[in-house]
Amino acid sequence: MTRTVYVNGSYLPETEATVSIFDRGFLMADGVYEVTSVLGGKLIDFAGHAKRLERSLNELDMAAPVTTDDLLAIHRELIARNDITDGLVYLQITRGSAGDRDFAFPDPATTPSTIVLFTQNKPGLAQSPQADKGLKVISIEDIRWGRRDIKTVQLLYPSMGKMMAKKAGADDAWMVEDGFVTEGTSNNAYIVKDGKIITRELSTDILHGITRAAVLRFAAEAQMEVVERNFTIDEAKDADEAFITSASSFVMPVVEIDGAAVGTGTPGSVARRLREIYLDESLKAAI
Ligand code: PDD
């Protein structure tokens, strides 16, 4: 099926949607993005994603081309036009095209930002068999730039990380800086020890995950103890459980780190419970 996508105010077949070769997203990775999941035809935590988008744009001095209300309407229109029950909506905003290549930012008054949205159809997204199996991760050095709290489209190193994992027979990579785990290539990282959920605290070192915020809130409501602090790969290998969170994987258990089984080597009860609570509560609040 040819998807209908959104580009700068128009709904078009994906085969007819174009962006300039001078677009700064293409030339400079000068753009930000969001990925919002869709379950049962409804958006999960749209407000959270819209808020983080606004923050990313502000941090980069980039103008928002549409209002949050318009953004919601575009998301919904794409879900309807593409008949998405379960899947993802990808949104990207770049600093636009000044019609040439130049490091200096163009004047936003004459160079409007580019906005693109498309859907990804993923039937049964919440029933992923991976959730029953758990993920194998490897550790790699985190050599990304220092503003990982901004959700930019600079995804070359995370892509290389996924390839390193694939080559090693694993599913993903956890990145390590100064001896401590920062996050996964496209997710936040957690361990569980003696019933405590441990995850790195928010800073410019990691993306402020929308799923992370919701999961930590639900964990606290369920009287589970959460500790926001650094942890090492050795501590993770020695943990009772490990898991990741993201908009596309929700809560996903990690069962192996650098070839060593975590806990029993099967998805742990805390991760399983958090996944259940997260999906239940998010579905209830979906719009
Ligand atoms: N990735 N950390 C990184 C580096 C990420 O790229 C992501 C999301 C997360 C989790 O954030 P959230 O819970 O808001 O999805 C953490 C998205 C899913 C992606 O790039 O596809």
Tokens for 139? 């550790």
Look at residues 102, 124, 146 and tell me which one is the last residue of a structural domain.
Answer: 124
Expressed in angstroms and rounded, the spacing between residue 278 Cα and the centre of ligand 1 is: 16
- Give the residue from 82, 122, 115 showing the smallest Cα distance to 2: 82
Same domain, 248 and 150: yes
> Of these residues, 42, 136, 151, 237, which one is catalytic?
151
What's 134's domain CATH number?
3.20.10.10
Residue minimizing CA distance to atom 3 of ligand 1: 186
Same domain, 149 and 177: yes
pLDDT for position 191: 98
Residue minimizing CA distance to atom 1 of ligand 1: 186
Tokens for 8? 């700068």
Same domain, 277 and 135: yes
Q: Is 209 in the pocket of ligand 1 (CB under 6 A)?
A: yes
Same domain, 278 and 165: yes
Cα dist from 205 to 185, 187, 245, 272, whole Å: 13, 13, 16, 27
Same domain, 70 and 205: no
pLDDT for position 50: 98
Tokens for 59? 């941090």
Same domain, 56 and 178: no
Same domain, 159 and 264: yes
Start-to-end CA distance of the chain, whole Å, equals 25
Residue 239: count of CB within 10 angstroms of its CB = 21
Q: Is 212 in the pocket of ligand 1 (CB under 6 A)?
A: yes
Same domain, 52 and 184: no
pLDDT in tens, the chain (287 residues): 899 999 999 999 999 999 999 999 999 999 999 999 999 999 999 999 999 999 999 999 999 999 999 999 999 999 999 999 999 999 999 999 999 999 999 999 999 999 999 999 999 999 999 999 999 999 999 999 999 999 999 999 999 999 999 999 999 999 999 999 999 999 999 999 999 999 999 999 999 999 999 999 999 999 999 999 999 999 999 999 999 999 999 999 999 999 999 999 999 999 999 999 999 999 999 99
pLDDT for position 1: 80
Expressed in angstroms and rounded, the spacing between residue 33 Cα and the centre of ligand 1 is: 10
Q: CB neighbours of 246 closer than 8 A, spacing ≥ 6?
A: 184, 186, 187, 188, 209, 211, 252
Same domain, 26 and 143: no
Look at residues 86, 105, 124 and tell me which one is the last residue of a structural domain.
Answer: 124
Q: CB neighbours of 203 closer than 8 A, spacing ≥ 6?
A: 149
Same domain, 64 and 181: no
Domain of 134, in residue numbers: 130-285
Residue minimizing CA distance to atom 19 of ligand 1: 186
Tokens for 189? 């990282």
Q: Is 48 in the pocket of ligand 1 (CB under 6 A)?
A: no
| Residue 42 bears catalytic tag | no
Look at residues 70, 97, 124 and tell me which one is the last residue of a structural domain.
Answer: 124
Name the domain count of the chain.
2
Cβ atoms of residues 125 and 12 within 8 Å: no
Q: Is 182 in the pocket of ligand 1 (CB under 6 A)?
A: no
Same domain, 239 and 166: yes
What's 79's domain CATH number?
3.30.470.10
Same domain, 179 and 250: yes
